[in-house]
Amino acid sequence: MYRYDAIDKEFLADRAAEFRGQVARRLSGEITEDQFKPLRLMNGLYLQLHAYMLRIAIPYGSLDSRQMRRMAHIARVYDKGYGHFTTRQNLQLHWIKLGQVPDILDLLAEVDLHAIQTSGNCIRNVTADPYAGATAEEIDDPRVWSEVIRQWSTVHPEFSYLPRKFKFAVTAAAKDRTAARVHDIGLVLRRARDGSLGFEVIVGGGQGRTPYVGPTIREHLPVDSLLSYLQAILRVYNRHGRRDNKYKARIKILVASLGAAEFARQVEEEWGRIDSPQADLPDTELARIRGAFTPLAFEALPARSDAFESAKAASPSLARFARNNVKPHKKSGYGIVEISLKAHGATPGDASADQMDLVADLAERYSLDDIRVTHEQNLVLPHVKLDDLPAVHAALAEAGLATPNIGLISDIIACPGLDYCALANARAIPIAQAIAQRFEDADRAELIGELKIKISGCINACGHHHVGNIGILGVDKKGEEFYQLSLGGSGQEDASLAQILGPGMSAERVPDAIETLVDTYLSVRQGEERFLDTVRRVGMAPFKEAVYADAH
């Protein structure tokens, strides 16, 4: 993984010291809340319902055991002993005290972590494929390009005050695990017929109150032109983005109002004016960054592990875990292990400090010291030998981390919602808990197959409800929580926006409605169809009819 150099470390230490001074001046009354608020937000510190919340950036969702242990330590000492992994592959701590934040930032800086650009109208943490460097599907390592973008966009003076926040996703696999088409910019690495590497550039996707699946404005951007082209996109956005209206300020609104073709034309025109050799990354610098992601010291192993196969035959729970949570690795004899943070009845994305420490230990011992966070709020040990899977599974199971439900109905995305968030209108977590408990039967969950439920507590859509196979949006109906269901969304390569099913319902009715949707699916699905495929084939009508039958 990429290691900070002396300049990076000095910068982080300086930023932490600067914030220490800002906090002291706020507490003494030297600066007002209005003056302080933008400064704390620049360091990822929000004031929520019960306390401050610190959002720590995990660059492209990739970290090592040292960093995971440090976050566990901070969660244990400065919070209530847990952290919340988010749909942006970050970690949020929900019970932070302002007076202790300077110490926390110092502790983070010591392990090359920070909370810079996790808030505000700037370029945020880049989302990347959590299987990077491990999956055979990728044609290049997306972490290299994510790191290039991270370095370029960190305190970039021209792009530190954009019309609105700005989010990138980078993937190099056909199977999209980053929701690239609903990011401000999605970059999908592809190889052209002549073998050259390029990016499909998708601009203007997004969720929130006005969701869009982003259009592709360039099919094949040569990789060595990446930064000049991104600069052109952001310049067009900076120039024409709607700063007058927060709800129309995202780039998706600009792209939609100009039309993708006209937006692309303006970008190309701007690109033509940029001094590319000056703007693009020198080959030497790219080589330096690529050097940080050199292939790891994998062992030459047979594709089949007798130890794993016999353990699986003896343990149905290991077999189930292997079916659902272990994904193919590019090297024979290895597997990618997904650690579900969706135990039935638990808060999606939450991990205790002890669990974080355990994951760090397992990563160090069994996964080449590599850990990933997925945008679906789970963790990944990307490089586990099949021989070691029984031991890894046993350790995870003991810590409550072996729920075998990746991609299944109880692997639910949920934002913190009204239980924590100052913007929320309704709770999201208890809805997720109730659904997961309803579908606790693992056999039934496997029978249902891939089904992605995503829950947001307000229209800002942090819980990705617009791209849920079943999306659930919490709304405030005269002070009471109500939930609006939608169907048919996908954040993957076949991205689509979910359509609203019908009138909202109370929290108590949601699990029954989900049950009805699932029963309807099972009664009409053909062959190996996923829930999403069935919805696309038969449309909303049978689902709507079933859920609202009582209302007639």
Partner 1 sequence: MKALTANRLIDGEVVFWLDGRWVERFADAQLFADDDAAGPAAVETGLAQSTVIVEPYLIDVVPAPGGWAPVSYRERLRALGPTNEPTHGKQAEGGAGIEAILAATGAARSTGRVDLIRRK
Amino acid at residue number 106: D
Which C-beta is closer to partner 1: that of 80 or that of 220?
80
Q: Which stretch binds partner 1 (CB under 8 A): 92-100, 187-195, 397-405, 490-498?
A: 92-100
Q: Which residue has the tokens 């269901």?
A: 485
Residue placing its CB nearer to partner 1 in the complex, 248 or 427 = 427
| Nearer of residues 61 and 457 to partner 1, judged by Cβ | 457
| Binding flag, residue 98, partner 1 (CB under 8 A) | yes
32 binds partner 1 (CB under 8 A): yes
Interface stretch with partner 1, choices 48-56, 108-116, 172-180, 509-517 (CB under 8 A)? 48-56
Alpha helices in 406-493 (DSSP H): 429-438, 442-448
Q: Where are the alpha helices (DSSP H) in 241-259?
A: 251-258
Q: x/- string (CB under 8 A) for partner 1, residues 460-489? A: ----------------x-xxxx--------
- Verify binding: residue 246, partner 1, rule CB under 8 A: no
Under a CB-based contact definition with an 8 Å cutoff, are residues 378 and 403 in contact?
no
Give residues 62-91 in contact with partner 1 (rule: CB under 8 A). Answer: 80
Q: Which is nearer to partner 1, 246 or 444 (CB)?
A: 246
The answer to whether the Cα torsion of 36, 39, 41, 43 is positive or negative is: negative
Query: Between residues 323 and 477, which has the closer beta carbon with respect to partner 1?
Result: 477
Stretch of residues binding partner 1 (CB under 8 A), selected from 42-50, 130-138, 145-153, 191-199: 42-50
C-alpha distance from residue 301 to each of 132, 306, 384 (Å)? 20, 11, 12
**Two tokens, residue 443:** 């056999």
- The overall longest dimension of the chain from CA atoms, in Å, is 68
Q: Quote the tokens at residue 360.
A: 């760090």
Sheet strands side by side (includes 499-500): 413-414, 453-456, 470-477, 480-487, 499-500
438 near partner 1, judged by CB under 8 A: no
Of 49 and 296, nearer to partner 1 (C-beta) is: 49
In the list 95, 152, 298, 548, the residue contacting partner 1 (rule: CB under 8 A) is 95
- Should residue 508 be labelled a site residue for partner 1 when binding is judged by CB under 8 A? no
- Asked if 245 is part of the footprint of partner 1 (rule: CB under 8 A), the reply reads no
**Closest approach of partner 1 to the CB of residue 26, in Å:** 7
- By CB under 8 A, the count of residues binding partner 1 is 31
Does 355 sit near partner 1 (CB under 8 A)?
A: no
Q: Rounded distance, CA 376 to CA 7, Å?
A: 33
Q: What are phi and psi of 62, to 5 degrees?
A: -120, 130
Q: Using the minimum distance from each CB to partner 1, give the nearer residue, 23 or 128.
A: 23
Q: What are the distances in angstroms from CA 162 to CA 36, 123, 159, 201, 455?
A: 20, 8, 6, 20, 28
3-state secondary structure of 302: coil
Residue 55 as a binder of partner 1 (CB under 8 A): the answer is: no
What's CA 163's distance to the chain center, in Å? 22
Q: In what order do the strands lie in the sheet with 91-96?
A: 45-47, 52-56, 91-96, 82-85, 350-352
Residue ranges in contact with partner 1 by CB under 8 A: 26-29, 32-33, 47-52, 80, 95-99, 347, 418-420, 427, 429-430, 433, 476, 478-481
